[in-house]
């Protein structure tokens, strides 16, 4: 046991040494693996169910699995912003378990239609933004300030690992059983996390202070009261928007430019995911990290990793740059969340994180939607490189704004946040 503990980087030992965190971490691992499987199963089941207008139903199913979370964040804010993070996370997972779990049941009864499938997915995702916010709010409550980056990194890295293992496992399973039953496994994974959360001892998040005055309008009003955090959200939203076209252009680059098989596309994404895991875990070991400069460096670095796609270079070059891009991209989420945890008032953290989640749910899908016409107009290479160049410009402008803000109001950030 002591030899195994010695293999864990020192920054992660205090976090993993906490029994409550270890239980939650295990629950998140199971749940995120289910999410990874649903990445394949949601679209595949829509294809099976819809004999006509397949593209429309696939798009509707994928959108229904995520976008209603925006509606839930906005419409339910007045009711939920005072709820404890633990209860929100429990409610989100129970809702997903019940309504996604209904999919294999209706399928077995022969009563599942494309329309009912989309409705079930949509209802299941209504609390998605609140559940995501509650995850990091709960971590902020459980973990001391000096260990938050490590905790955020460990949990976020699970999502990257799930994008490697989940689709691969689902790809095997859908060849053996109906994709509806694969979604049933996803529902079970949410139930597992719900049980873990329910058994977690009550934290300070159960003692939520009343929200008064302008803050009573919700998370977006709270963000407007904190220009630094509003700027961070704007940066993150644009970063995710510019990432969206990559998901459209990269497959077309493989087929149209390289004339290669799907295995090459799988290689790009698998190495990206591995790089993201490595990069995230590596940065999470650094306790005294200047969060803002590193966050901006990630934005610029990711953009630079896409620039090689503009040139007619050997495939190994772009595969290598995309892998490095994963290493660079991996730490962005835990760093940006840690920044928000550090600068948000504790009583309002969940509401502000919910607003963040709701806003970000729109960014990547919009970027993906823009990727289609951009790729058709300029080609895959130009779209990938253009996304990279614009991202570099975004990071550069954000850095200039940060420097200007510091010169006007020096000392507004702590050393750890700079």
For residue 381, the model assigns a pLDDT of 94
Other CB atoms within 10 A of residue 209 CB: 10
Asked if residue 213 has pLDDT above 70, the reply is no
CB-based contact 189:33 (threshold 8 Å): yes
Asked if residue 415 has pLDDT above 50, the reply is no
Q: Which of 331, 31, 23 is nearest to 152 (CA)?
A: 331
Using a 10 angstrom Cβ sphere, with 0-12 exposed, 13-18 middle and 19 or more buried, the burial of residue 251 is middle
Asked if residue 222 has pLDDT above 80, the reply is no
User: How sure is the predictor about 308, in pLDDT bands with cuts at 50, 70 and 90?
Assistant: very high
Look over the chain and give the mean of its residue pLDDT values, rounded to a whole number.
82
Q: Which residue has the tokens 């977006």?
A: 220
- The mean pLDDT value for 363-386 works out to 85
User: CATH topology for 1-208?
Assistant: Growth Hormone; Chain: A; (1.20.1250)
- The mean pLDDT value for 314-327 works out to 94
Long-range contacts of 396-402 (CB under 8 A, 24+ apart): 396/300, 398/231, 398/235, 398/296, 398/299, 399/296, 399/300, 401/231, 402/292, 402/296
- The mean pLDDT value for 190-206 works out to 82
- The mean pLDDT value for 186-196 works out to 96
Q: Where are the domains of the chain?
A: 1-208, 217-418
CATH label, 217-418, candidates 2.40.110.10, 1.20.1740.10, 3.50.50.60, 1.20.1250.20: 1.20.1250.20
User: Rounded to whole angstroms, what are the CA distances from 296 to 231, 394, 395, 397, 400?
Assistant: 12, 9, 6, 10, 10
Q: Answer whether 1-208 and 217-418 agree in fold.
A: yes
Asked if residue 79 has pLDDT above 60, the reply is yes
What is the model's pTM? 0.71
Question: How large a percentage of the chain has pLDDT more than 70?
Answer: 86
Span of 62-66, 155-159, 181-185, 211-215 with lowest mean pLDDT: 211-215
Span of 17-26, 34-43, 290-299, 340-349 with lowest mean pLDDT: 340-349
């Amino acid at each position: 046991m002591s030899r195994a503990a010695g293999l864990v980087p020192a920054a992660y030992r205090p976090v993993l040494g906490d029994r409550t965190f270890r239980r939650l971490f295990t629950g998140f691992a199971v749940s995120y693996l289910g999410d990874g499987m649903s990445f394949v199963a949601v679209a595949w089941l829509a294809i099976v169910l819809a004999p006509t207008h397949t593209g429309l139903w696939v798009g509707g199913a994928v959108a229904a699995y995520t976008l209603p979370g925006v509606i839930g964040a906005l419409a339910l804010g007045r009711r939920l912003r005072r709820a404890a993070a633990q209860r929100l996370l429990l409610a989100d997972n129970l809702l997903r378990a019940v309504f996604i779990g209904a999919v294999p049941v209706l399928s077995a009864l022969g009563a599942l239609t494309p329309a009912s499938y989309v409705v079930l997915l949509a209802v299941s995702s209504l609390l998605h933004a609140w559940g995501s916010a509650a995850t990091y709010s709960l971590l902020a409550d459980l973990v001391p300030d000096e260990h938050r980056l490590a905790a955020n990194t460990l949990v976020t890295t699970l999502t990257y690992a799930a994008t490697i293992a989940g689709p691969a496992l689902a790809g095997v399973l859908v060849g053996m059983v109906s994709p509806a039953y694969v979604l049933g496994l996803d529902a079970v994974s949410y139930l597992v996390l719900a049980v873990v959360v329910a058994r977690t001892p009550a934290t300070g998040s159960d003692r939520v202070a009343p929200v008064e005055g302008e803050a009573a309008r919700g998370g977006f009003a709270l963000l407007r009261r904190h220009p630094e955090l509003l700027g961070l959200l704007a940066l993150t939203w644009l970063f995710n928007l510019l990432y969206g076209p990559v998901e459209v252009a990269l497959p077309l680059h493989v087929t149209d430019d390289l004339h290669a098989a799907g295995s090459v596309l799988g290689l790009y994404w698998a190495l990206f995911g591995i790089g993201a895991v490595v990069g995230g875990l590596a940065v999470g070991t650094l306790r005294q990290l200047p969060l803002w400069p590193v966050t901006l460096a990630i934005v610029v670095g990711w953009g630079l990793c896409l620039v090689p796609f503009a040139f007619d270079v050997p495939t190994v070059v772009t595969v290598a740059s995309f892998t490095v891009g994963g290493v660079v991209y991996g730490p962005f989420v835990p760093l940006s969340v840690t920044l928000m945890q550090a600068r948000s008032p504790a009583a309002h953290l969940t509401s502000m994180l919910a607003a963040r989640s709701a806003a970000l749910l729109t960014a990547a899908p919009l970027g993906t939607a823009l990727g289609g016409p951009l790729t058709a107009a300029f080609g895959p290479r130009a779209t990938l490189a253009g996304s990279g160049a614009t991202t570099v410009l975004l990071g550069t402008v954000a850095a200039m704004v940060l420097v200007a803000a510091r010169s006007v109001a020096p000392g507004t950030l702590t050393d750890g946040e700079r």
